[in-house]
Amino acid sequence: MARRHDPERRQRIIDAAIRVVGRKGIAGLSHRSVAAEADVPLGSTTYHFATLEELMVAALRQTNEGFARVLAERLPEDGHGDLATQLAGVLGEWLGGERTGVELEYELYLAALRRPALRPVAAEWTERAAEGLARRTDAVTARALLALMDGICLQVLLTGGSYDEGYARAVLARVIP
């Protein structure tokens, strides 16, 4: 029997894993659930990702790219504009729409606490984001801003509250020298 050429299969599996975690959480992620979601044979998921950790690494990398893209688009390269206002706007954009993607990103990010294979990916994201912010401020302040932004996001997500851009702008401004 001829094998069907499917160059997009790996990406469809990653996308399916993200959808599964978005609906069922990390606990609902299995090769079987992802294969069903991606409409591929079970063997395809294990061919591309021998372990669930490998699949979670790929999913975390992809979800991290979403926030990194928003951050890069909203922070001008020329360094103009008020950084606190710009970062508060980034958070507003990130938290203002459908929160499933944000929840998913944090669920995968926090899964690194129990799954060491995810830690390098979480660290990669932190480093990239800190480097981007360090173009606008010093390295220590960049890391403090990231920690504060994570805290604000987690508070909003965990309390189910609404995002207060004015509050975010005010506390971010206190950190920026």
Q: Count the domains in the chain.
A: 2
Quick one: 46 and 65 in the same domain?
A: no
Quick one: 81 and 44 in the same domain?
A: no
Quick one: 80 and 9 in the same domain?
A: no
- Predicted local distance difference test score (pLDDT) of residue 50: 93
Quick one: 72 and 158 in the same domain?
A: yes
Buried b (16+ CB within 10 A) or exposed e, 114-128: ebeebeebbeebbee
- Predicted local distance difference test score (pLDDT) of residue 12: 94
CB atoms within 10 A of CB 17: 27
Quick one: 31 and 100 in the same domain?
A: no
Quick one: 142 and 101 in the same domain?
A: yes
CB atoms within 10 A of CB 155: 11
Alpha-carbon dihedral 130, 67, 52, 49, rounded to 10 degrees: -100
Quick one: 15 and 85 in the same domain?
A: no
Residue 5's domain spans which residues? Answer: 1-50
Quick one: 72 and 152 in the same domain?
A: yes
- In angstroms, rounded to a whole number, what is the distance separating the alpha carbons of residues 131 and 116? 23
Instruction: Tell me the average pLDDT across 166-173.
Output: 97
- In angstroms, rounded to a whole number, what is the distance separating the alpha carbons of residues 141 and 143? 5
- In angstroms, rounded to a whole number, what is the distance separating the alpha carbons of residues 139 and 131? 7
Quick one: 78 and 130 in the same domain?
A: yes
Quick one: 90 and 143 in the same domain?
A: yes
- Predicted local distance difference test score (pLDDT) of residue 1: 37
- Predicted local distance difference test score (pLDDT) of residue 2: 38
CATH number at residue 28: 1.10.10.60
CATH number at residue 115: 1.10.357.10
Query: What is the value of pTM for the model shown?
Result: 0.80
Given the structure tokens 């699949």, which residue do they identify?
Answer: 55
Q: What is the pLDDT of residues 64-112, one digit of tens each?
A: 777 777 777 788 777 788 999 999 999 998 888 777 778 878 887 888 8
Quick one: 96 and 66 in the same domain?
A: yes
Quick one: 70 and 135 in the same domain?
A: yes
- Predicted local distance difference test score (pLDDT) of residue 76: 74
Q: What is the pLDDT of residues 1-44, one digit of tens each?
A: 334 667 799 999 999 999 998 888 888 999 999 999 999 999 99
